[in-house]
Chain A
Amino acid sequence: MTPVSLTVDGVAKEFNRRSIFRDVSFSLRSGESLAVTGRNGSGKSTLVKIICGLLSPTRGSLAYVVDGKPIEVDALKDHIGLVSPYLQMYDEFTGLENLEVLSRIRADHDITAALIADALRNVGLWDRRNDFVRTYSSGMKQRLKYAFAMLHRPEVLILDEPTSNLDAEGIVMVERCVKEQSSRGMLIVATNDSDEATWCSQRVVLGGERK
Chain B
Amino acid sequence: MSVSSTFALVRKDVHSEFRTRYALNALVMFVVVAVATILFALRSDQPTSSVLAGLYWVVVFFTAMSGLSRTFVSEEERGTTMTLQLVAMPSTVYFAKLIFNTVLTFSLTIAVTILYMTVFSDTFVIQSMSTFLVTVILGSLGFASASTIIAAIVAKANTRATLYPVLSFPILVVLLMTVMSATTKALDGEPFEGAVGDFQILAGYILAMTAGSYLLFEYVWKD
Contacts and interface: CB of A to CB of B under 8 A. Distances in A.
6 contacts: A77-B88, A77-B89, A80-B86, A91-B78, A101-B15, A102-B83
A90 B16 contact: yes
B82 A86 contact: yes
Nearest to A90: B80
B80 A77 contact: no
B2 A82 contact: no
Given A88-B80, A92-B16, A105-B12, 8 more contacts: A80-B86, A88-B79, A90-B12, A90-B16, A101-B8, A104-B5, A105-B9, A106-B87
Contacts of B19: 92-93
Interface in A52-108: 52, 54-56, 74, 77, 80, 82, 86-93, 101-102, 104-107
Interface of B: 2, 4-5, 8-9, 11-12, 15-16, 19-20, 78-80, 82-90, 92, 222-223
Contacts of A88: 78-80, 82-83
A102 B78 CA distance: 16
B8 A105 contact: yes
Given A77-B88, A101-B12, A105-B88, A87 B83 contact: yes
Given A74-B89, A77-B89, A105-B88, A55 B8 contact: no
Given A54-B222, A56-B223, A105-B5, A87 B12 contact: no
Nearest to B90: A74
User: Which of A54, A56, A101, A107 has the largest number of chain B CB atoms within 10 A?
Assistant: A107
A132 to B, nearest CB: 9
B3 to A, nearest CB: 9
A84 B88 CA distance: 18
Contacts of A105: 5, 8-9, 12, 84, 87-88, 92
Given A86-B82, A88-B78, A88-B79, A104 B8 contact: yes
A88 B90 CA distance: 18
A32 B82 CA distance: 26
User: Which of B12, B79, B80, B87 has the largest number of chain A CB atoms within 10 A?
Assistant: B87
A107 B78 contact: no
B78 A54 contact: no
Contacts of A86: 79, 82
Contacts of A102: 83, 87
A92 B74 CA distance: 12
Nearest to A76: B86
A77 B8 contact: no
